[in-house]
Amino acid sequence: MPEYKERYTCAAVPCESYEGAAAALARALLAIGGLDFITPGMKVVIKANLVAPMAPSACATTHPALLTALTEMLVSRGAKVVIGDSPGGPYTKAALAANYRITGMHEAEKAGAELNRNVDSHTITINGKAMRRLTYTDYLDEADAIIDFAKLKAHGMMGMSAAVKNMYGVIPGLVKPETHYLYPDVNDFADMLIDINEHFKPVLSLIDAVDGMEGNGPTAGTPRHIGAVIASLSPYEADAVAARLIGLDESGVPTLAAAKRRGLCDNDLSHIALYGDPDSIAVPDFESVPRQSISFFKGSKLNFVGVAIEKLLEQKPEPVKEKCVACGKCASLCPAKAITFIEKGGRKYPHIDRKKCIRCFCCQEFCPKAAMVVHRALVSKLLHR
């Protein structure tokens, strides 16, 4: 292990494969102070990203090798470890069991972790900037400490899914679309995510960026090797570093911009007590969904120009008819009820009512056949190039 001459609050450590994940995670944690806060008998909840029942090779979920390594570290200090998440869809014991099996969570269970099977939830009032009523999963109430362990992925609505976005999984599966409907504006949604993070205050924010997901993320994209493990005392600092790894900044990640507005992180890596060199690990050609800024026009006499430009640049979900099997999941999960099925040539296809669509990308995120993609207008593609 290296010697550390100062206390860091964030670390980005190279990790070429999951075979070396345990060593990389230990090095990253040591850089930010280790696990000395753990005391025997403490109950630690690891909030993983288990968004859907997908194999680790799909790179949509936190890899079991990292969760197993963290479990072993915590158990060796006498902690009781619980791993959980609320995937998309029904939040039932049967759904959780299938998710744990397919995502490889039983490896962490063998190392001493308990896999959460409590599917109860309740609603509380919070004093957030955007959110006032929060419905969340009950098992989190049993935690003495919460560790947020995310997966680095492209995301249709938020540009990137990492530490801050991962905490959205505290909301039960079928309540997520309802929450999207309550916060259709991307900036309000970003503030809502930060409200959740500020309420639960994870003691550590970790990101699995060994193999991430680019393109049509967060579930239907393409695996992409990045080669890093990120550990931080702050989910906002962790995300600022993660964004650098995949070529994004606050203009492309609304949660980063919101965190800066709220004085939680200024996103300048030179102002972060950072161990490691993210630029030496960065993947410059990582395929993401860029968000074009029109802030120059907002609030000015040319606001009508901004509205027109926004329409030209907006991304939206688009069905790929050749892949669609008309299972109806997109329609059932759409919070705005904007999707219906029409019949053409003896087959049924999804039709999106653009006047109703709030561009939350729930349909794209949870389509089991990757038959919904993030469509970008030609103007947006040309500007990005």
**What is the distance in angstroms between the CA of the first residue and the CA of the last residue of the chain?**
43
Nearest to 84 by CA among 169, 163, 204, 22: 169
Q: Which phi and psi (to 5°) does residue 373 adopt?
A: -130, 165
pLDDT at position 299, please? 44
Spatial separation of the C-alpha atoms in residues 181 and 159, rounded to whole Å? 19
Alpha carbon 235 to its chain's center = 11
Return the closest-CA partner of residue 34 out of 1, 68, 80, 83.
Answer: 1
Neighbour count for residue 127 (Cβ, 10 Å) = 9
Helix/strand/coil for 319:
strand
The answer to whether 94 and 119 are in contact (CB under 8 A) is no
Supply the pLDDT for residue 103.
98
> In whole angstroms, how far apart are CA 110 and each of 21, 37, 87, 149, 217?
17, 24, 22, 19, 30
Reported in sequence order, the residue ranges of 36-112 that DSSP labels E, i.e. its strands, are: 43-48, 80-84
Q: How far apart are alpha carbons 171 and 164 in whole angstroms? A: 13
Closest CA to 155 of 364, 312, 337: 364
**What pLDDT shows up at residue 280?**
97
Domains of the chain and any CATH numbers: 10-281 (3.40.50.11440), 303-384 (3.30.70.20)
Structure token digits, residue 111: 């190392």
C-alpha–C-alpha distance, residues 201 and 197, integer Å = 5
Pairing assessment for the beta strands 145-155 and 204-214 based on DSSP bridges: parallel
Nearest to 85 by CA among 73, 67, 70: 67
193 SS3 class: helix
Q: Which residues contact 292 (CB under 8 A, 6 or more apart)?
A: 309, 313, 380, 383, 384
Q: What is the β-pairing status of strands 121-125 and 145-155?
A: unpaired
pLDDT per residue rounded down to tens, the chain (385 residues): 444 556 899 999 999 999 999 999 999 999 999 999 999 999 999 999 999 999 999 999 999 999 999 999 999 999 999 999 999 889 999 999 999 999 999 999 999 999 999 999 999 999 999 999 999 999 999 999 999 999 999 998 899 999 999 999 999 988 998 899 899 899 999 999 999 999 999 999 999 999 999 998 899 999 999 999 999 999 999 999 999 999 999 999 999 999 999 999 999 999 999 999 999 999 999 998 755 433 333 444 445 444 444 554 467 888 888 889 989 888 888 888 889 888 888 888 898 898 888 778 888 877 888 888 877 554 444 444 4
